[in-house]
């Protein structure tokens, strides 16, 4: 078999493939066997009909067509391997020449057009200069963390006063669309200011005492009338405030492994400092990726992006219906921009992973599976089985590999804060546990890991 690749554009390639009649013969023989199983000829057992009789009954042209259809994918995959292209879309095949069924020689010729991953030229990413916000944990951070911890052990007590921010209410809700009551609920718990129910609810309940009610206009968030304008009546049946325990030694022993409030404060200060480092690390990571995208020209295959955007809005793929209020011109433009950005991210990080010869160990993949499963609230074993059955494991390996590539670049970057101080991200970018013990630090750079990306443009190609 002969194959050659022709670049139609940086993201589109054409394969020209030639298959000789000798190479086609095993497929022709298999086609004869398949047809023999499908027809019945008096005097011959099923599957034992001679080729000459099959030619008489269905025609050699039909057999040849069957042989070609059955072999096309294998020849295409072989041509992909030989030419080294990296397809991104479904191939568009055109058969240009078919051997004469009655001739002893001849060739099958066909061409394939397909979107491909573009080749890019990486810049020198050693020592990229990144600025992040200065972050130093202070007393206010410690007090905030302590108050949050006290809040976990707080108790609610009824109060005889109007509701205010952070109060806990028991409420009844009734919603009307026009004159029709479409929904109602009673005995709901709600914290003022949380914004977890309906838009306008916080303003409506603020200042109400138990037994009082208010009416406000809003859009319904769920149910059969989601998105519709409605008039909602809210009645407050109870107002409670959270009473926090005293921040003393007794509380420290109740809420932690420490014996004194001083030890607890000291530990909270360490946690606050670590949190600041993580915040700086996330900012640095995102800015490193932004800088890479700015430095590298990545052609984007419009057909692939368009397919991803349509999949987002297609109900059959879990997207939104075309008439959905989310399917707006602005939303489509946002999804398109995010998809293009995700494509560029992946191409760049894959190229860096190739250059750095980054691999993914079984323990790294397991760690990623466990973390992802927890985000979906699923059992890790069940999640892994679903990913395996749906063929998503290679995609997950690629994601881990890209994260490691980004961590390598981040580990080589020069990061300073807004006050000109060098930022140490060694706690943010670290070697993976199974590779920390590699002899003489082998592959230490390639073993780097970064906190999982929360980039909204997390489309997979």
H-only helix segments in 191-327: 201-205, 249-255, 261-295, 302-313
Q: What's the CA angle centered on 66, arms 45 and 74, to 5 degrees? A: 120
Predicted pLDDT of residue 136: 77
Residue 237 has pLDDT above 80, yes or no: yes
Report, as an integer, the average pLDDT of 51-80: 85
Q: 144: Cβ–Cβ under 8 A, 6 or more apart, which residues? A: none
Partnered with residue 232 across adjacent β-strands are 175, 216
Bridge pairing between strands 168-177 and 229-243 = antiparallel
| Spatial distance between the Cα atoms of 136 and 124, rounded to a whole number of angstroms | 32
Question: What would the two tokens of residue 172 be?
Answer: 């009844």
Q: State pLDDT tens for residues 396-437.
A: 999 999 999 999 999 899 999 888 888 888 777 754 444 433
Q: What strands lie across the sheet with 12-20, from one edge to the other?
A: 2-9, 12-20, 107-115, 92-97
Q: State pLDDT tens for residues 261-279.
A: 999 999 999 888 888 888 8
At 44, is the pLDDT very low, low, confident or very high (cuts 50, 70, 90)?
confident
Residue 10 has pLDDT above 70, yes or no: yes
- The CA R_g of the chain, rounded to the nearest whole Å, is 32
What's CA 154's distance to the chain center, in Å? 37
Residue 446 has pLDDT above 60, yes or no: no
Phi, psi of 204 (to 5 degrees): -70, -40
Predicted pLDDT of residue 16: 95
pTM of the full structure = 0.67
Mean residue pLDDT across the chain: 85
308, 141 contact by CB (below 8 A): no
Predicted pLDDT of residue 220: 86
**Residue 341, Cβ density class (10 Å: 0-12 exposed, 13-18 middle, ≥19 buried):** buried
Question: What would the two tokens of residue 197 be?
Answer: 């129910």
Residue 248 has pLDDT above 90, yes or no: yes
Residue 127: how many CA atoms within 13 Å on its side-chain side?
Answer: 0
């Amino acid at each position: 078999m002969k194959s050659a690749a022709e670049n139609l554009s940086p993201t589109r390639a054409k394969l020209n493939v030639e298959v000789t009649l000798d190479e086609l013969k095993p497929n022709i023989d298999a086609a004869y066997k398949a047809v023999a199983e499908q027809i019945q000829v008096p005097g011959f057992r099923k599957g034992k009909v001679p080729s000459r009789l099959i030619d008489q009954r269905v025609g050699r042209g039909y057999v040849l067509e069957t042989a070609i259809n059955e072999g096309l994918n294998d020849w295409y995959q072989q041509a992909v391997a030989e030419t080294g292209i990296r397809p991104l879309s479904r191939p568009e095949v055109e058969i240009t020449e078919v051997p004469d069924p009655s001739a002893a020689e001849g060739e099958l010729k066909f061409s394939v057009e397909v979107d491909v991953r573009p080749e890019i030229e990486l810049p020198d990413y050693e020592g990229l200069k990144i600025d992040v916000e200065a972050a130093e944990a202070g007393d206010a951070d410690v007090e905030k963390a302590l108050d949050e911890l006290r809040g976990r052990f707080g108790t609610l007590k009824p109060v005889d006063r109007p509701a205010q921010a952070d109060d806990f209410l028991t409420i009844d809700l009734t919603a009307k669309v026009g004159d029709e009551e479409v929904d109602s609920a009673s005995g709901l718990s709600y914290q003022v200011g949380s914004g977890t129910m309906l838009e306008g609810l916080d303003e409506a309940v603020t200042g109400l005492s138990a037994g009082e009610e208010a009416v406000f206009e809003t859009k319904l968030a769920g149910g059969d009338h989601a998105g519709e304008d409605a008039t909602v009546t809210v009645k407050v049946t109870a107002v409670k405030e959270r009473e926090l325990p005293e921040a003393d030694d007794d509380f420290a022993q109740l809420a932690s492994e420490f014996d004194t409030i001083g030890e607890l404060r000291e530990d909270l200060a360490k946690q606050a400092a670590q949190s600041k480092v993580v915040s700086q690390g996330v900012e640095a990571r995102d800015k490193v990726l932004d800088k890479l995208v700015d430095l590298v020209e990545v052609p984007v295959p419009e057909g692939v992006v368009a397919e991803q955007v349509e999949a987002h809005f297609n109900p059959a793929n879990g997207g939104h219906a075309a008439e959905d209020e989310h399917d707006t011109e602005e939303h489509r433009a946002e999804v398109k921009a995010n998809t293009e950005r995700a494509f560029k991210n992946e191409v760049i990080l894959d190229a860096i992973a190739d250059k750095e010869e980054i691999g993914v160990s079984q323990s790294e993949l397991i760690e990623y599976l466990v973390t992802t499963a927890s985000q979906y609230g699923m059992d890790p074993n069940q999640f892994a089985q679903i990913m395996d059955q749906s063929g998503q494991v290679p995609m997950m390996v690629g994601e881990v590999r890209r994260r490691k590539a980004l961590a390598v670049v981040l580990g080589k970057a020069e990061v300073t804060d807004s006050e000109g101080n060098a930022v140490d991200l060694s706690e943010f970018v670290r070697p993976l546990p199974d590779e920390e013990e590699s002899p003489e630090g082998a592959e230490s750079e390639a073993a780097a890991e970064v906190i999982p990306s929360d980039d909204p443009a997390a489309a997979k190609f």
